[in-house]
C-alpha cells in the first residue's frame, strides 16, 4: 500500500476501499452507478449527475445502511472509516444524504485513527484529510458535487469553493496548503514545524546526493 498525499483518496488503501462500494452494489447496479469513477482527478460532470440521480433513488441510503450494519461486526474501525469514505463519495456525486446520517458520520470521525505525520500503511486519516472531510461536511449542499482532489487548507480543510480563493502553498516545504496566514500559523504551532523541517532536510539531502 502506498500513500502519496495527506488528503482523502491520496492512498492506495483509500482507493481500494472505495472500489469496494461498487462490489457492495453488485455488478448490475455498479454498471449503472460507477461510484469508483468519481475518484478520478477530473471526473466527468455528466457522469456525476447520472450517478447522483441513481443514488437519490434509494441506492445511496441502501449503501449507508449496509456499512452501518458492518460496524456491528468484528472490524469496527474499518467499517467506520468505510462509512466516512462512502459519505465523501456521496458528496463527490452531490447526492442526497439524510441529515441524521450526516450527523452520524460526523460523530464517527473522532473514532477513526488520525495521524499528524505521514504514514503510508495505516488505516484512517492524515490530519489534513480529517480537516478536509469535516470542512466538506460543514459546507455540503445537495446537488453540488464536492471535489476531494482540490487543494485544501491543512488546518481548517477549506478549499477554493469555500473561501473563493485557492489555498497558498507553504513556502518552505512546498507541501502543505493554507487558506490564510492565521491557519498557517496555527498549523505550524500544532505540528507542521517538525514535518516541514523534515521535508526541507530530506530535499537538501537529495540535492547533495545528486551533486
Q: Give the pLDDT band (50/70/90) at residue 115.
A: confident
Give pLDDT, residue 80: 95
Residue 208: its pLDDT value, please? 53
With contact defined as beta carbons under 8 Å apart, do 133 and 146 qualify?
Answer: no
- Cα distance between residue 195 and residue 134, in whole Å: 22
Nearest by Cα to 145 from 23, 13, 37? 37
Q: pLDDT tens digit string along 70-100?
A: 999 989 999 999 999 999 999 999 999 999 9
* Mean pLDDT confidence for 19-48: 86
Confidence band for 196, pLDDT divided at 50, 70 and 90: confident
Is-contact 38 51, C-beta < 8 A?
yes
Task: Report d(CA 74, CA 78) in Å as an integer.
Answer: 9
Q: Measured between alpha carbons, how far apart are the two ends of the chain, in Å?
A: 31
Torsion from C-alpha of 27, 33, 34, 40, nearest 10 degrees: -170
Contacts of 127 (CB under 8 A, 6+ apart): 6, 114, 115, 116, 154, 191
Q: What does pLDDT average to over the chain?
A: 89
pLDDT band of 39, cuts 50, 70, 90: confident
Q: In the predicted model, is pLDDT for residue 116 greater than 80?
A: no
pLDDT of residue 201: 59
Backbone angles phi, psi at 137, to 5 degrees: -60, -45
pLDDT on residue 175: 86
Count H helices and E strands in the chain, helices first.
10, 4
Residue 115 carries which DSSP code? Answer: E
Q: Are 136 and 153 in contact (CB under 8 A)?
A: no
How crowded is residue 121: how many other Cβ atoms within 10 Å of its Cβ? 9
pLDDT of residue 5: 84
Residue closest to 128 by CA, chosen among 169, 86, 91: 169
Most confident range, picked from 1-15, 21-35, 85-99: 85-99
38 pLDDT more than 70: yes
* Helix, strand, or coil (residue 7): coil
pLDDT higher than 70, residue 207: no
pLDDT band at 204 (very low <50, low <70, confident <90, very high): low
Instruction: Give SS3 for 73.
Output: coil
- Cβ 178 vs Cβ 152: under 8 Å: no
Q: Is the pLDDT of residue 27 over 90?
A: no
User: DSSP letter at 11?
Assistant: B
User: In this model, does residue 210 exceed pLDDT 60?
Assistant: no
Q: What would the mean pLDDT of 109-118 be, rounded to a whole number?
A: 82
Amino acid at each position: 500500500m502506498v500513500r502519496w498525499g495527506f488528503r482523502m483518496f491520496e492512498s492506495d488503501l483509500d482507493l481500494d476501499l472505495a472500489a469496494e462500494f461498487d462490489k457492495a452494489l453488485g455488478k448490475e447496479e455498479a454498471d449503472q452507478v460507477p461510484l469508483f469513477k468519481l475518484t478520478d482527478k477530473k471526473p466527468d460532470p455528466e457522469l456525476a449527475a447520472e450517478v447522483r440521480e441513481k443514488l437519490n433513488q434509494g441506492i445511496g441510503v441502501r449503501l449507508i445502511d449496509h456499512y452501518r450494519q458492518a460496524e456491528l461486526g468484528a472490524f469496527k474501525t474499518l467499517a467506520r472509516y468505510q462509512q466516512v469514505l462512502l459519505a465523501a463519495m456521496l458528496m463527490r456525486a452531490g447526492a442526497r444524504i439524510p441529515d441524521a446520517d450526516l450527523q452520524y458520520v460526523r460523530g464517527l470521525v473522532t473514532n477513526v485513527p488520525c495521524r499528524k505525520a505521514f504514514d503510508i500503511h495505516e488505516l484512517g486519516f492524515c490530519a489534513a484529510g480529517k480537516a478536509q472531510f469535516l470542512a466538506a461536511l460543514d459546507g455540503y449542499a445537495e446537488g453540488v458535487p464536492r471535489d476531494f482532489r482540490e487543494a485544501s487548507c491543512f488546518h481548517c480543510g477549506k478549499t477554493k469553493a469555500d473561501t473563493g480563493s485557492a489555498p497558498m502553498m507553504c513556502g518552505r516545504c512546498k507541501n502543505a496548503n493554507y487558506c490564510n496566514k492565521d491557519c498557517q500559523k496555527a498549523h505550524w504551532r500544532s505540528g507542521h514545524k517538525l514535518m516541514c523541517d523534515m521535508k526541507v532536510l530530506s530535499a537538501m539531502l537529495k540535492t547533495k546526493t545528486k551533486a
